[in-house]
Amino acid sequence: MPANLAAASPSGVFPQFSYTAYKESRTYPILFQGQHDGTVITSLIQDGVNTPVSVRTWAVTLRLTSPNLVTLRTFYESQNGPLGRFWFYDPFYNSDIGSCYDPTGESVTGRYTCMFLTQMWTESTDMSSMGNTTSLSFQAVA
């Protein structure tokens, strides 16, 4: 008999950095069902008890100094890339940008349990500014 899945248990807080690009998107899971006559029926996936909740996804681009690049890569590797779960504090959660960040993970204000969507670590060096640019995507996990 199947059992309920355990909730994701995050280990660590995404380090606080300045972002050169920051994008948050919200989507609702949709079920697509094709019919024999070629029509497609779509419906919102829901459990019938709770109201539907959007899936949040963040995509960030960071320009990092060498020590910050090492910090971020160490964090990514400590989470086992896309396999681990971590807490992310949304810097735009309230009007005072970045004020809800808590490096200990104790505060629940603006905190989301996330996972990396980036399958492999990628980085590039911009020769004109001599800085490392890293792009990462991660998604909130219910």
**pLDDT tens readout for residues 54-72:** 888 888 887 777 888 888 8
Supply the mean pLDDT for the chain. Answer: 80
Instruction: Give the pLDDT mean for 105-131.
Output: 78
What is the model's pTM? 0.73
**Residue 77 backbone dihedrals phi, psi, to 5 degrees:** -70, -35
pLDDT at 141: 62
Domain boundaries, the chain: 19-140
Range of weakest confidence among 7-11, 72-76, 133-137: 133-137
The candidate with the shortest Cα–Cα distance to 18, out of 61, 74, 59, is 61
- Read off the pLDDT of residues 2-44 as tens digits, 9 standing for 90 and up: 566 666 688 899 988 877 778 888 888 888 788 888 888 888 7
